[in-house]
Structure 1
Amino acid sequence: MKRSILYCALLVIVALVANCNNGKAPLDNPSRGSITIAADESFKPLVSQITSAYEGIYPNVKFTLVFRPEQEAINMMLRDSARLAFTTRKLTKNEQRALDQRKIIGGAVKIATDGVALIVNKANTDSLITMDQLRAVFTGKIKTWSQLKGNQNEPITLVFDNNNSSNLDFVLSTFGIKSVDGLRIFTTRSNREVIEYVRKNPSALGFIGVNWISDGDEPLTTELSADLRVMGVSSKPNPTGRADYYQPFQEDLGMQRYPLRRPVYILSREAHPGLGGGLVNYLIRDAGSLIIYKVGLWPSVRYNREINLQK
């Protein structure tokens, strides 16, 4: 009799295990599980703070963050090496086709407006530039700081975080430039290394994601911003005063005054209501937009707080 009862209990357990998600690992959900997120390295401060806050709310959640140049981050998402990707663009038709072949709808949600910041050494007094002048730098018509009426006589060294940097791609596409042959370009391995290089080289003009230096509450921002100037950029060909120049900080991003602004998207390949969707909803429907605001970017969906005043 005891053997019969034990045998029946064993059959029930086996049946439950076999029927639990068809033998696959349990699916994650918005409050439990672990996924990998790929992101362009220029968004590292933003993504790190967002995911850390979400993990603080849900202790059973774990995000593995991988920071790569934008195209590599997108490829990781397409190959299913990452569930989400933080990027500056949506998928191309060919990239979307890769998901369509697997019958995955995917998605792209704009969460913020970011800006590419132009930084120079503090010893360089030239802190203003027009879009026409910047175009001339990238077409080789302007080669030295003296042509920009700066106090440096050296050639302008353009500094980016990677050969495949989203920062570099964005600037080139803005000006319709196909080749960088003949330009004085130096690449590092991260936005932080761009900052360090500019700090040591007065002739350098660095390009970084502004969230590296825009969070006034972060000690790292103070550390990284030391001995640097953030250039003001004007879309007017003939500015009449300093008021015509704008920096890539929150209000000028939100009011669309800063010329080198760009969107921030979350690309997803999630096929069920899971952890990835939970994070996206947190950013566009919940208090997550406050983190975007805190970092110094402009959230696509503002968080509305209701305040009751009582006598």
Structure 2
Amino acid sequence: MKKNWKSRLAALGLAALSACSPQPKDNPIQGRVTIAADESLQPVIESIRRAYEGIYPDTKFDTLYRPEQQAVAAMLRDSARLVFATRELNASEVAVLAKEKIKVRTQVIATDAIALIVGKNNTDSLITMPELSGLFQGTITSWSQLKGSNQSGPVVLVFDNSNSSNLNFMLQKFGVQDVSKLRLYAVNSNRAVIDYVRTNPTALGFIGVNWISDGDEPLTRELSKDLRVMGVATKAVPSAISEYKQPFQANLAMQVYPLRRKVYVHSREVHSGLGGGLMTYIMRGEGSLLIEKSGLWPSVPYNRQVILNKN
């Protein structure tokens, strides 16, 4: 009899604790959460967000588009549930979450690229990785120093932000520690980079390729006007024009474009919530198709089935 009473009391205690515990306000098909993303990824993230909210009308994502460092910081301080970035979290960032007993969940969702752009009045549309290294090491400062160049004047390297993933990627790629002697110019966004390059013939712009790679989007067609996308060769002396690669989707899939990078989503979510629902959606067919449409290469390519009927 005593054992029976003890069992009942234990059950009542668990029920009371459950009633007092705060219940999640969201799940994969309803709720409202904030997510953050590097601004260079805005077009593809907007496409995914709109599609998910269209399928599940009881969901809402408040999206913060920031330079990558700020976007990651928003997730770390719990101002955002997820962050879309172009790098893994470093050890100190993982430690911040570990102190809160949160095990970060990370997925690689796509291959992205840095597109190099010049205005239509600049006829130089080919560059090599050694030449890019020279620009970032400060040994090349003028367009006339580039092989086959028809342009004169100083090369101005234009980025969206001093804390952006685009700039950080290029600095790390070429091992740059000191930027004080480089002719760098930071504007407010990838779109502002495009506008600046369009009107400044000595500018060389660096943007996330998804800003100009979705041909079905009116904004993409508008932004692509009066621009040239440079081809980049790995070798110092390419033997053929075909060795210069542009950041087209096929070149990302074949991993032959040298300025490619991975896209990650990092989650601090501790329950089966709306953030997890979005991550699952991205890795399935519909999400992969949206990534493909944006011009990036999805980690899980969309599986197209072709059925042939015999007559």
Cα drift, residue 308 of structure 1: 4.0
Whether 1:269 aligns to 2:255 is: no
Instruction: Give the Cα separation in 2 of the matches to 1:250 and 1:307.
Output: 21
Counterpart in 2 of 1:197? 196
The C-alpha deviation readout for 1:237-280, integer Å capped at 9, x for no partner, is: 21012100001110001100000000000010010111111111
Q: How many residues matched?
A: 294
Partner residue in 2 for 1:99: 97
Measure the CA separation in 2 of the matches of 1:258 and 1:25: 47
Q: Which residue of 2 aligns with 1:225?
A: 224
Aligned partner of 1:8 in structure 2 is none
Q: CA deviation at 1:287?
A: 1.4
Which residue of the partner structure matches residue 110 of structure 1? 108
Contact 2:285 2:303 survives alignment (8 Å): no
- Mean Cα displacement is larger for which, 254-263 or 22-31? 22-31
CA distance in structure 2 between the partners assigned to 1:201 and 1:232 by the alignment: 20
Deviations 1:207-237 (A, max 9, x none): 0000000001111111101111000001112
Residue equivalent to 2:235: 236
Deviations 1:74-116 (A, max 9, x none): 1110111000000011111111011111111111100000000
1:25: Cα distance to partner? 5.6
Matches within 5 A, 1:34-73: 34-73=32-71
Letter of the 2:33 counterpart: I
What pairs up with 1:45-194 in 2 under 5 angstroms?
45-148=43-146, 149-194=148-193
Q: Deviations over 1:12-64 (max 9, x none)?
A: xxxxxx98863636431110001111000000101100000000000000000
Q: Distance in 1 between matches of 2:130 and 2:19?
A: 59
**SS in structure 2 at match of 1:287:** helix
Alpha-carbon distance in structure 2 between the residues aligned to 1:302 and 1:214: 17
Q: Secondary structure at the match of 2:114?
A: strand
Distance 2:42 2:110 in 1: 14
Please name the residue that 1:6 is paired with: none
* Residues 162-171 or 235-244, more deviating: 235-244
5+ residue gaps, structure 2, are 1-15
Deviation digits for residues 118-170 of structure 1 (CA, Å, limit 9, x no counterpart):
00011111100000000001111111111113222110000000010100000
8 Å Cα contact 2:166-2:207 kept in structure 1: yes
Q: Is the 8 A contact 1:124 1:150 kept in 2?
A: no
Which ranges of structure 1 fall in alignment gaps of 5 or more residues? 1-17
Partner Cα distance (1:90, 1:181) in 2: 27
Partner of 1:7: none
Contact 1:39 1:85 in 2 (8 A): yes
